[in-house]
Amino acid sequence: MAISTKIQNYMERASWIRKMFEQGIELKAKIGADKVFDFSLGNPNLEPPEEVRKAILETMGDERPGKHAYMPNAGLKETREAVASFLSKEHGIPMTWEQIIMTCGAGGGLNVALKAILDHGDEVIVLSPYFVEYLFYVDNHNGVGKLAKTSVDFTLDLEEIEAAINPKTKAIVLNSPNNPSGRIYDEISLKKLGKLFEKIKQKNGQSIYILSDEPYSKIVYDGAKVPSVFQAYSESIIATSYSKDLSLPGERIGYLAVNPRMENWKQVIDGLTFCNRILGFVNAPALMQRILVKLQGVAVNVSEYKSKRDNLSRGLSAAGYSFFKPEGAFYLFPKSPIADDVKFVNILLQENILAVPGTGFGTPGHFRLAYCVEDRVIEGSLEGFRRAIHKVSR
């Protein structure tokens, strides 16, 4: 046995996206990439804004030595200051650089946070539909993922969440705007959730963290804004990155921000810093940290994603698909016209359309389309979407 049985099993369970990716490569080799409509991956198709290239060139032009050296595990002070200043304005709460830890993307940040807060067997509530990796991340740190459903329109279902809480509950992971639903959790529900956790704390002293995974917070449409989790609840930590809003997923740069109102924020920051080190990240990439000082508030042109969302929504609606129109991120999560979403995704594949079954996100009966693709992919796919729904409605 070359690898552990556990990892072998996990790889099989998590193979939906990989399967589509591999089938996509095969199909592209067979019929030509331009004839395949690939909606399987959340890899941003927009290039980073021009400011990113400029900042990299400027940084490299600075000939002072030490640019690439090790640094404190939490990151460069100037970068943490720039992020804290940006977040203070966004959340309307004064923050200092000490409440920020630079991480290897949001994924790295979530692992650091879970490592720091979980004892063996602690439970973490994960809401379905969920980003596939959460359950693995929780398990990485000896936690147990506890699933709770969102409502039919993918908003927070507080009763479901309350029913999932028990004395072992240590945290909940929220992801808004959501991958795959595109939903933004509204301020009132977020505050109610905060109140629920405060009530539990008062009753039996149990502290439950909100880990708010927000890599899509700047990719929002129609004037929407992601409500501040820091305003809603004090025991909250934000994990985010520049993977999506600056189109830098391969550079692995993001951060954790700890709510300044958290009772033990200093201790939590010390724990997070230590975990960034012992997980082997050591520190987030140095060059990326340096450029971020100049890039706070910069983002890709979100109107391009909006136009893709609108074009795909229009085409899918006209073809007879039903779905909730995304408020943010770059995913559509339509209902499968037949109950068996895996079967329907295979029917789409016959039309050279690559999608991911909702089953892979803990929500069967749906499928996910990542529309961070070229416009021609959307336009070219619509006839295939029409034929596919037609096939199953005869």
Interface residues with ligand PLP (CB under 6 A) are: 42, 105-107, 131, 175, 179, 213, 215, 241, 243, 249, 254
Q: How far apart (Å, rounded) are the C-alpha atoms in residues 21 and 15?
A: 10
Nearer to ligand PLP, 194 or 249 (CB): 249
- Determine if the peptide bond prior to 167 is cis (ω within 30°): no
Closest contact distance (angstroms) between CB of 67 and ligand PLP is: 23
Closest contact distance (angstroms) between CB of 41 and ligand PLP is: 9
∠ CA 225-91-214, nearest 5°, is 55
Q: How far apart (Å, rounded) are the C-alpha atoms in residues 228 and 150?
A: 20
User: In 3D, which of 55, 39, 13 has the Cα closest to residue 287?
Assistant: 55
Nearer to ligand PLP, 27 or 256 (CB): 256
Closest contact distance (angstroms) between CB of 120 and ligand PLP is: 25
Nearer to ligand PLP, 52 or 319 (CB): 52
Beta strands at 331-332 and 356-357: parallel, antiparallel or unpaired: unpaired
Nearer to ligand PLP, 189 or 241 (CB): 241
SS3 304: helix
Closest contact distance (angstroms) between CB of 282 and ligand PLP is: 17
Q: How far apart (Å, rounded) are the C-alpha atoms in residues 217 and 351?
A: 33
Q: How far apart (Å, rounded) are the C-alpha atoms in residues 231 and 259?
A: 9
Nearer to ligand PLP, 286 or 382 (CB): 286
Tokens of 327: 């408020």
Closest contact distance (angstroms) between CB of 360 and ligand PLP is: 13
Helix (H) or strand (E) holding 25: helix 15-31
Tokens of 128: 């379905």
Nearer to ligand PLP, 76 or 284 (CB): 284
Amino acid identity, residue 209?
A: Y
Do residues 112 and 256 make contact, with C-beta atoms less than 8 angstroms apart? yes
Closest contact distance (angstroms) between CB of 166 and ligand PLP is: 25
Q: Is 248 exposed, middle or buried (0-12, 13-18, 19+ CB in 10 A)?
A: buried
Dihedral angle sign, alpha carbons of residues 106, 110, 113, 115: negative
Closest contact distance (angstroms) between CB of 2 and ligand PLP is: 27
Closest contact distance (angstroms) between CB of 234 and ligand PLP is: 23
User: In 3D, which of 331, 359, 361, 326 has the Cα closest to residue 345?
Assistant: 359
Closest contact distance (angstroms) between CB of 88 and ligand PLP is: 22
Under 8 Å CB-to-CB from 322, ≥6 apart: which residues? 334, 335
Nearer to ligand PLP, 215 or 260 (CB): 215
∠ CA 186-188-189, nearest 5°, is 70
Q: Is 335 exposed, middle or buried (0-12, 13-18, 19+ CB in 10 A)?
A: middle
Closest contact distance (angstroms) between CB of 240 and ligand PLP is: 7
Nearer to ligand PLP, 183 or 337 (CB): 183
Q: How far apart (Å, rounded) are the C-alpha atoms in residues 334 and 157?
A: 20
Nearer to ligand PLP, 254 or 260 (CB): 254
Amino acid identity, residue 296?
A: Q
